[in-house]
Amino acid sequence: MGLLIVGSIGLDDIETPFDKIQNALGGSTTYISLAASYFTGPVSIVGVVGDDFPKEHIKMLEDHDIILDGLQIVDGAKTFRYGCKYHYDLNNRESLFTHLNVFENFNPIIPEKNKKDKFVILGNIAPKLQMNVLDQLDNPKFVVCDTMNFWIDGAYKDLLEVLKRVDVLIINDSEARLLSKEPNLIKSAKIISAMGPKYLIIKKGEHGALLFGEDTVFSAPAYPMENIFDPTGAGDAFAGGFTGYLHKNMDLSFNNLKRAVIYGSIMASFCVEKFSTKGLEDLSFLEIKNRFIEFRELSNFD
């Protein structure tokens, strides 16, 4: 009954108005698994890197009790690399380069002992690969899925097939509008829910997130931040915190999903406070709990 995460692992060059970093640990799986690791276990990942992938990153993930049996390390191949630059408002990211390298032929192979994992997060990879993962699993109970404009535009039919088998789809507002072809987010949510997902989460960056269930909506605020250092990985940290919290207590009621959305928002807020995965590498239970209390102050009224 573990939590399985499948997606990309890479090395990023990131430039923001404040600083820049090269060869930093990146990839959806990395952020998701780190965020989830603070809530639950066992957390296992499936991904691929080349033999240039620094051993220190392996150690750091292992130090967070993340199980790496499904991590393929391909001899003589290079790790996925991505470069991007954020401009002043930090909302728009300019891609500088994408070297797929070993990720180009990624074929996720689920280790035998993970096939019975009941919670699965499908990171932002090709819908065909997401489907491939689901086909290898033995009746998962709770499937969380991310996607992006690139797949909505380029692999729409495949994505629709995946959505039929998904419990929670987590996307941002522009992706929701693109997927539903509807500008109003409330209408958009209804259209997307009819595609299959039992729950839909629409992330709105500095405006928080919306959780849609059947005839129910929850609006989570964003944590008030004066300084966002590096937005990379925020959405993945959200997915990891959200699903990790649910896996911890196995309560899938709407009330608990609300709390999980808050824990997702908390992990995203820690993520953007530092470069790369640094904001998710050294958190205490108390820091996370205190931020939950801050979110309650921010959001609740009687």
- Enumerate binding residues for a second copy (CB under 8 A): 88-89, 183-187, 204, 206-208, 210, 216-219, 221-222, 224-227, 255, 258-259, 262, 296-302
Find out whether 209 and 264 touch, Cβ atoms under 8 Å.
Answer: yes
Least separation in angstroms between residue 89's CB and a second copy is: 6
| Closest to a second copy by CB, 106 or 242 | 242
3-state secondary structure of 288: helix
Distance CA 252, CA 143 (A): 12
Q: Is the dihedral of CA 28, 282, 49, 140 positive or negative?
A: negative
Nearer to a second copy, 196 or 208 (CB): 208
The candidate with the shortest Cα–Cα distance to 296, out of 247, 262, 246, is 262
Q: Which is nearer to a second copy, 88 or 97 (CB)?
A: 88
The smaller minimum CB distance to a second copy, of residues 48 and 176, is found at: 176
Whichever of 61 and 211 has its CB closer to a second copy, that residue is 211
Per the DSSP assignment, residues forming a β-bridge with 44 are 4, 67
3-state DSSP assignment of residue 282: coil
CB 263 within 8 A of CB 290: no
- Shortest distance, position 26 Cβ to a second copy, whole Å: 25
Strand order of the β-sheet with 216-220 is: 66-74, 43-50, 3-6, 119-122, 142-146, 168-172, 199-203, 209-213, 216-220
Give the nearest distance from C-beta 66 to a second copy in angstroms.
28
Distance of closest approach, residue 227 Cβ to a second copy, in angstroms = 8
- For a second copy, the closer CB: 150 or 254: 254
Give the integer Cα–Cα distance in Å for 26 and 9: 6
Beta carbon of residue 278, minimum distance to a second copy (angstroms, whole number) = 21
Q: Nearest approach, Cβ of 61 to a second copy (angstroms)?
A: 31
By beta-carbon proximity to a second copy, the closer residue of 115 and 187 is: 187
Tell me the HSE value of 73 on the side-chain side, using a 13 A CA sphere. Answer: 9
Nearest-approach distance from CB 165 to a second copy, in angstroms:
27
Task: Tell me which residue has tokens 């150690």.
Answer: 59
